[in-house]
Structure formats: structure tokens, C-alpha cells
């Protein structure tokens, strides 16, 4: 299956069922232009993560623009950086400032792929007790910054994860 992206308003009129400016289509059709093979779509979906379709749409839009302009070899990674370190920078700065020190430490652990319950990891990130880390995780889940999965906690927003990796690790 091929991923095709279409920019509304260009060329023929798009079908009304696609109200967004950019639509992700599967297969090839006369409304869009094939951007790449199926790995492009898979890379967008994998990078956006399991949490929300809005991330996929936003990432696909930016990746489409970058790919169409021939601006980068690593289209998806460049798109993530453009969103996380550009478009959403002010929002993420404000969110970070609003967090407690233990919450920031937990986000750094999760972004680095480290367990939030291991004693050596807690010491490394300056958290003195496991209950402090558990409280921070619970608060971050309540604030919809982290989500709990079967394997642990992950970022709800892959762009915020990238921002944390860039600015705080």
C-alpha cells in the first residue's frame, strides 16, 4: 500500500469527506501525488506514536511539505524537529516551567528510555524516594503528559518527548 498526501485546494476539488487542509490517503488516486513508498507512511505513524491521530496528521503535513520541497534526507526526523523545536517551542517551554523538579526528572527518565522505578535511575536523576517518582508519574498522567501502557509509561506527545530530549537531557 502506498501513502499519498493531498493538499486541499490544489488541482481538482477534493471529496467533501476530507475537511482538513491535508489528508492522508492510502493507495494512489487522481486527487493526490505519491510522495514515497509505504515506508514513508509507516515512518510517520511510528514516529507519531500510539496516542493520538492529531499527531499523525500534524506530522504528515509537515513531512509532506519538507519532502515536497526536497529539504532533507531524513524527512520524518526533520519534521519532528520542525514541530517540536519550532512550532511548539513556546508551548513546551511554558509547560516545562510549570512542572515540579521531580516531574521534570521523571520526564527526562522516560525520554531517555530509563525505568521510573529503578533505584539507581532515581538516584541518577536526583529523586530521593520511589514514592516521589510515583507521585510525579501520577501527576504527569493526570495532566496528560504521560500515558501508562502495558510496558510502562510513555509520552502522550512525541513532539514534547523530542523537546525534552533536545533541551533537558
Please write the tens of the pLDDT for every residue from 146-157: 999 999 999 999
**CB neighbours of residue 33 within 10 Å:** 13
Cell of 81: 524537529
What would the mean pLDDT of 94-121 be, rounded to a whole number?
97
As a whole number, the mean pLDDT across the chain is 81
Sign, CA torsion 15/18/20/22: negative
What is the rounded CA–CA span in Å between residue 30 and residue 6? Answer: 10
For domain 91-168, the CATH architecture is: Orthogonal Bundle (1.10)
Q: Please say if the pLDDT value at position 15 is more than 80.
A: no
What is the rounded CA–CA span in Å between residue 135 and residue 141? Answer: 10
- 163: number of CA atoms within 13 Å, CB side? 23
Which tops the pLDDT comparison, 93 or 8? 93
Does residue 80 contact residue 155 with C-beta atoms inside 8 Å?
Answer: no
Q: Which residue has the cell 505513524?
A: 45
Local confidence band at 25 (pLDDT 50, 70, 90 cut-offs): very low
What is the rounded CA–CA span in Å between residue 160 and residue 112? Answer: 13
Cell of 127: 529523586
Question: Taking Cα atoms as reference points, which of 108, 118, 119, 120 lies closest to residue 146?
Answer: 108
Local confidence band at 20 (pLDDT 50, 70, 90 cut-offs): very low
pLDDT-wise least confident of 11-20, 52-61, 141-150: 11-20
Residue range(s) of every CATH 1.10.10 domain in the chain: 91-168
Query: Whats the size of the chain, residue-wise?
Result: 169
The pTM for the full model equals 0.76
Question: Taking Cα atoms as reference points, which of 165, 162, 156, 3 lies closest to residue 77?
Answer: 162
Q: What is the pLDDT of residue 32?
A: 41
Please write the tens of the pLDDT for every residue from 69-99: 987 889 999 999 999 999 999 999 999 999 9
Amino acid at each position: 500500500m502506498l501513502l499519498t498526501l493531498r493538499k486541499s485546494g490544489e488541482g481538482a476539488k477534493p471529496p467533501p469527506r476530507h475537511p482538513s487542509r491535508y489528508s492522508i490517503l492510502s493507495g494512489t488516486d487522481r486527487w493526490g501525488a505519491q510522495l514515497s513508498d509505504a515506508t514513508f507512511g509507516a515512518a510517520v505513524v511510528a514516529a507519531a506514536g500510539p496516542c493520538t491521530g492529531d499527531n499523525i496528521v500534524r506530522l504528515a503535513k509537515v513531512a509532506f511539505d519538507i519532502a515536497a520541497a526536497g529539504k532533507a534526507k531524513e524527512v520524518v526526523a526533520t519534521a519532528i524537529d520542525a514541530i517540536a523545536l519550532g512550532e511548539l517551542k513556546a508551548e513546551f517551554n511554558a509547560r516545562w516551567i510549570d512542572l515540579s523538579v521531580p516531574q521534570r526528572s521523571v520526564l527526562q527518565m522516560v525520554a531517555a528510555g530509563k525505568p521510573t522505578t529503578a533505584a539507581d535511575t532515581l538516584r541518577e536523576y536526583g529523586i530521593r524516594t520511589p514514592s516521589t517518582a510515583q507521585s510525579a508519574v501520577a501527576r504527569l498522567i493526570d495532566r496528560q503528559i504521560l500515558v501508562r501502557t502495558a510496558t510502562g509509561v510513555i509520552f502522550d506527545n512525541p513532539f514534547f518527548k523530542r523537546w525534552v530530549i533536545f533541551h533537558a537531557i
